[in-house]
Amino acid sequence: MKIAITNGRLVDPKHQIDARQDLYLADGRVAGVGQAPAGFQAEREIDARGLVVCPGLIDLSARPGKLETELKAAVAGGVTTLVCPPDLDPVLDEPELAERLVRQAADLGLARLLPLGALTQNLEGERLAEMAGLRQAGCIAFSQGKRPVLDTQALLRAFEYAATFGYAIWLQPQDYYLSRNGFAHDGEVGSRLGLTGIPVSAETVAIATYLTLAADTGVRLHLRRLSSAAGMAMVAKARAEGVAVTCDVGVHHLHLSEHDIGFFDTHARFDPPLRSLRDRDGLCAGVAAGTAALCSDHTPLDQDDKLVPFGEAKPGATGLELLLPLTLKWAAAAKLPLNAALAPVTSAPAAILGRDDLGHLGLGAQADICLFSAEEPWRVTPHNLRSAGKNTPFLGYEMAGRNKATLVAGQVVFDAL
Amino acid sequence: MHNPQLNSNGELIHLLSIEGLPRGILTHILDTAASFLGITDREVKKVPLLRGKSVFNLFFENSTRTRTTFEIAAKRLSADVLNLDITRSSTAKGETLLDTIDNLCSMHADMFVVRHASSGAPYLIADHLKRVGRDDIHVVNAGDGRHAHPTQGLLDMYTIRHFKKNFENLRVAIVGDILHSRVARSDIHALTTLGVPEVRAIGPQTLLPTDLGRMGVQVYHDMNEGLRDCDVVIMLRLQNERMNGALLPSAGEYFKHYGLTPAKLALAKPDAIVMHPGPMNRGVEIDSAVADGPQAVILDQVTFGIAVRMAVMSILAGN
């Protein structure tokens, strides 16, 4: 299928393009930018007048829930690639399980699903999972999801083993003991409301441990969902010193803080928790500086999971369909141009994944594309969200930026033009 | 942010926390309590203000004392009182908190007095009542997790006003386990709202919440320093489970540093009063010589507590 996307505003952060240019796709790849390749005969032309044409969004953390529903939500939100953690049901600790999930996603033909394999068997933090087998089954790196590795020696062994084969390890830095029983930032609001706190040190202690082991073993380390300014500063410093570490931040953490808990609003319960305004500013600066990529941390939940007292509520928010507008909202507040706005959800995550065929629109890149209206306002309502999860602190808010069409590998998988 | 305790006219419809309530409402409750205090001394201890109304005591966490004082207060207002000990019934069968509330709504309740182990549970209930169009039912927080115990805070204020006449020139110290104490949080909000110029929090770092200073108090780790020239000393109960070594090495060491003895009390003003929300651990946070001494007003607190709870319930029922 040969497709021409014409009259759009092409934004490609990796190549620093922001211009009115046409895009030509053939055989699922980008075949021409600005100029059609010789003899190109478009079978379909998409008129992108008034729309931004950019690489499909890459979401470094999304829980798939019911696969078809959530992958439909992904492409509706302009997300063409999503990484899912291994702490699903069942846990992704055997190659067959990962293979099945990858195949199910591929059969749906919607967004690309890249699973993280379990680092340890059943995520118990003791015995190593079959990493090579999991890798072959499609796991792109290894993780514990939300589960800890309590035994630091077991962690060192896991780092060593992964480094042996050149596999990356993705961990959420949160010390188990410093965070156990906690459910809110250990700070002003949590103290006032009597919510058991998770101190920033739960994050920084874990980062210090992981960075030390990463430096010793040479493993490629990715830190998932930072929540604190201090944590971000540690990662920036390590990167400046040449440590092969990357990180991401959940997009909600760029907008919200502990103060958004208000009167015990369970929609503001996140893991890691929303922290102080200073932390929020530190995270924003880290993303703007390119230290961190963004993810939706998509966690679709039932309504009942939030209709309980704050400490009993499940953490997380639906995110796949809010990643784009929340990224644009952050960039607008920070007065960033569109290239800089979209880098944390396109080129930056592609670099973390080590995929030079994703996250950009250069010649030969996968034709994963999203076409969105940068200005069109829309209201976040349960009806407007395709995800089964309607759980979001932004319910009722007006967002600017609405995805209109999504292509994955040159196929139109979402079309609201 | 909309305060769920107040209606659009700024009147109290639920009592969930002292935080966010204007001084006028607190003073009104204290004044109303004063008018009820006389009733307690009469031969017929009842007034008909809540006649025909049903007050449900929903105790998701055990507390015979608090429940009893609410029950007495409601009965003196002529209300029908139902005590539901929910720890042993519905939730054990897997019913959610809001399922329980829906059921009770159908039983024509007028007021829920709620105690719950989770901070914020009464807010969830008030929010739910609004959502289902039953915000004619008033919610009184009788203690939620570590968050708030507003009627205790109010009765403490009543006690202070009774003995000290006003709040404007006082130095008040709160001593002990503030981290786990809903009483301390309610007291701090009440004291700062009523204009007490100096509120001190005294305790070891393991028992003080992070950023406590942001609540408008001065933090002391040295009790001798903290008690100096205070007008009011509020001692907090130390739960047994805090003494197992994780937060404190032993009850003995705690008493040595933070137990209120006659010698330490001598550092406060000579006419300082000593308060305690009860039940006391004698020899842990307070010496018997102080607890039974002339400066202790602990039993007065209990008496005032009934009048304050009558005031709260009658004001809510009138709004």
Edge-to-edge strands, sheet with A44-47: A29-33, A23-26, A2-6, A44-47
Distance from CA of A396 to the nearest CA of B (A): 15
CA-based nearest residue to A50, from A373, A342, A361, A377: A373
Instruction: Tell me if A194 and B144 make a contact (CB, 8 A cut-off).
Output: yes
C-alpha A328/C-alpha A358 separation (Å) is 20
Instruction: Tell me if B19 and A192 make a contact (CB, 8 A cut-off).
Output: yes
| pTM more than 0.90 | yes
Cα dist from B306 to A114, B154, B299, whole Å: 62, 11, 12
Residue of B119, B207, B219 to mutate when probing chain A, most A C-beta within 10 A? B119
Here the tokens at position B174 are: 């709160």
pLDDT in tens, B232-244: 999 999 987 777 7
Q: Which of A374-388, B42-56, B77-91, B185-199 has the lowest mean pLDDT?
A: B77-91
Check CB contact of A362 with chain B, cutoff 8 Å: no
Locate the chain A residue with the closest alpha carbon to B131: A307
Question: Are the C-beta atoms of A92 and A86 separated by less than 8 Å?
Answer: yes
Question: Are the C-beta atoms of A329 and A339 separated by less than 8 Å?
Answer: no
Check CB contact of B128 with chain A, cutoff 8 Å: yes
Check CB contact of B4 with chain A, cutoff 8 Å: yes
Mean pLDDT (10-residue bins), chain A, 417 residues: 97 98 98 95 97 98 96 98 96 96 97 98 97 97 97 98 97 97 96 97 98 96 98 98 95 98 97 98 98 98 95 97 98 97 98 98 98 96 97 96 97 97
Distance from CA of B78 to the nearest CA of A (A): 32
- A-facing residues of B in 71-100 (CB < 8 A) are 96-98
Domains of chain B: 23-148+304-316 (3.40.50.1370), 150-301 (3.40.50.1370)
Query: In the prediction, which pLDDT does B1 show?
Result: 62
10 Å CB burial of residue A81 (0-12, 13-18, 19+) is buried
Contacts of B96 in chain A (CB under 8 A): 304, 307-308
Distance from CA of A252 to the nearest CA of B (A): 20
Average pLDDT of chain A is 97
Query: In the prediction, which pLDDT does B91 show?
Result: 60
Average pLDDT over residues B131-157: 97
Q: Is A365 helix (H, G, I), strand (E, B) or coil?
A: coil
Instruction: Tell me if A192 and B116 make a contact (CB, 8 A cut-off).
Output: no
Contacts of B116 in chain A (CB under 8 A): 309
Contacts of B209 in chain A (CB under 8 A): 190-191, 197
Average pLDDT of chain B is 93
Checking if the pLDDT of B53 tops 70, the result is yes
Question: Are the C-beta atoms of A244 and A221 separated by less than 8 Å?
Answer: yes
C-alpha A161/C-alpha A120 separation (Å) is 11
Enumerate residues 6+ apart whose C-beta is below 8 A from B253: none
ipTM: 0.94
pLDDT in tens, A131-153: 999 999 999 999 999 999 999 99
Locate the chain A residue with the closest alpha carbon to B143: A194
Residue of B146, B186, B241 to mutate when probing chain A, most A C-beta within 10 A? B146
Question: Are the C-beta atoms of B215 and B191 separated by less than 8 Å?
Answer: no
Kind and range of the H or E run holding A170: strand A168-171
- The length of chain B, given as a count of residues: 319
Q: Number of residue pairs across A and B with CB atoms under 8 Å?
A: 74
**Cα A40 → chain centroid:** 35
Check CB contact of B210 with chain A, cutoff 8 Å: yes
pLDDT in tens, A108-124: 999 999 999 999 999 99
Query: In the prediction, which pLDDT does B63 show?
Result: 85
Strands B232-235 and A112-118, sheet pairing: unpaired
Check CB contact of B203 with chain A, cutoff 8 Å: no
Contacts of A199 in chain B (CB under 8 A): 210
Q: Is A248 among the catalytic positions?
A: no
Cα dist from A399 to A363, A404, B179, whole Å: 33, 14, 39
Contacts of A196 in chain B (CB under 8 A): 146
Task: Read off the pLDDT band of B50 (50, 70, 90).
Answer: very high
Query: In the prediction, which pLDDT does A355 show?
Result: 97
Query: In the prediction, which pLDDT does A13 show?
Result: 98
Strands (E), A201-291: 220-223, 245-250
Catalytic residue among A22, A248, A297, A305: A297
pLDDT in tens, A152-207: 999 999 999 999 999 999 999 999 999 999 999 999 999 999 999 999 999 999 99
Task: Read off the pLDDT band of B245 (50, 70, 90).
Answer: confident
Kind and range of the H or E run holding A79: strand A79-84
Check CB contact of B60 with chain A, cutoff 8 Å: no
Checking if the pLDDT of B303 tops 80, the result is yes
Query: In the prediction, which pLDDT does B92 show?
Result: 59
Check CB contact of B144 with chain A, cutoff 8 Å: yes
Task: Read off the pLDDT band of B231 (50, 70, 90).
Answer: very high
Query: In the prediction, which pLDDT does B242 show?
Result: 75
Here the tokens at position A171 are: 């961990």
Checking if the pLDDT of B42 tops 80, the result is no
Crossing angle of the two packed helices A229-240 and A277-288, in degrees rounded to 10? 30
Among the partner-chain residues A186, A193, A199, the one whose CB lies closest to the CB of B119 is A193
Average pLDDT over residues B98-121: 93
